[in-house]
A and B are shown apart, each in its own frame.
Chain A
């Protein structure tokens, strides 16, 4: 048998997803849309946080793409609030990818506003795939525990803003804030960490101010 011939390829497997994500990002920017990829574990309060944010947006049209493995409860809640929302069911896939979002963006016919893309409840894969967003918003919670930056470093590293939700429960859970912040800051020097509560609604004004600053730029 003849010797094998080696052919160098050196092609990143991410290229395809990132290429489409970059195109989507340009399309969104050209339509005056600031897109935020909302990430967090199941039950962290991603939709609740979105509702609190959307309620506080003045003079800016909110759009929402809801990613879910199944069902559309979250979308119905948002539609009831008068938000333009669209549901994507991934049918088992653990994260949204750029071709899915590119299609949804076409369907939503967006212009001038903020687009929130609620990713699948998962702290792993969503952080790894660009979907055309301008920023990543991570919802973490005091009930998940303070070790999350250590266990899911990529999500914390990639986030542009981190919401620490359910902080009304701080007196009842053993959440070591110092340990949490130490982990966050080792991974991410810049993202603001804002304590919020979907229950008491505290902290969301600050989140909205951050978003509005970005939208203006």
Chain B
């Protein structure tokens, strides 16, 4: 549900950059969305067409790169995607700690 205002924000940033670089329309918006960023990619896609209407982004294609969250093993340093109900490293059985991988959410670039 909080994807609505964020989608508005993405469209306004993309339109602003397009104008700044002399574009008349945004063709593609490249987003990077971590799966624990709190934003659901499919909800952003859902709102996008509605909000983009009448803007420079009206015909833009959303390209969303999803990033799975990774833990870093405290023992061997391996970065891994955890299994449910455990934080154990699949390589050495050590314990993994949270990293920033999977928490990111940014507008990577646009194509005009």
Interface residues, chain A, CB within 8 Å of chain B? 4-14, 16, 92-95, 97, 124-125, 127-129, 147, 150, 153-154, 157, 183, 186-187
Contacts and interface: CB of A to CB of B under 8 A. Distances in A.
A140 B79 CA distance: 29
A164 B103 CA distance: 26
Contacts of B37: 14, 128
Given A95-B2, A125-B2, A150-B84, A10 B109 contact: yes
A186 B98 CA distance: 8
B38 A150 contact: no
Contacts of A157: 98
Interface in B97-112: 97-98, 103-112
Given A94-B2, A157-B98, A183-B87, A4 B111 contact: yes
Given A13-B9, A124-B38, A4 B112 contact: yes
Contacts of A183: 87
Contacts of A147: 85
A128 B38 contact: yes
B67 interface: no
Contacts of B109: 6-10
Task: Please provide the 9 A-B residue pairs with the shortest distance between their CB atoms, ordered closest to farther.
Answer: A128-B38, A4-B111, A186-B87, A12-B106, A9-B107, A13-B105, A150-B85, A8-B109, A11-B107
28 contacts: A4-B112, A5-B21, A5-B23, A6-B109, A7-B17, A7-B21, A7-B109, A7-B111, A10-B107, A12-B105, A13-B10, A13-B39, A14-B37, A14-B105, A16-B9, A97-B2, A124-B38, A125-B38, A128-B37, A129-B38, A150-B85, A154-B38, A183-B87, A186-B96, A186-B97, A187-B87, A187-B97, A187-B98
Contacts of B111: 4-7
B108 A10 contact: yes
A151 to B, nearest CB: 8
Contacts of B14: 9
B36 interface: yes
B46 interface: no
A93 B1 contact: yes
A13 B106 CA distance: 5
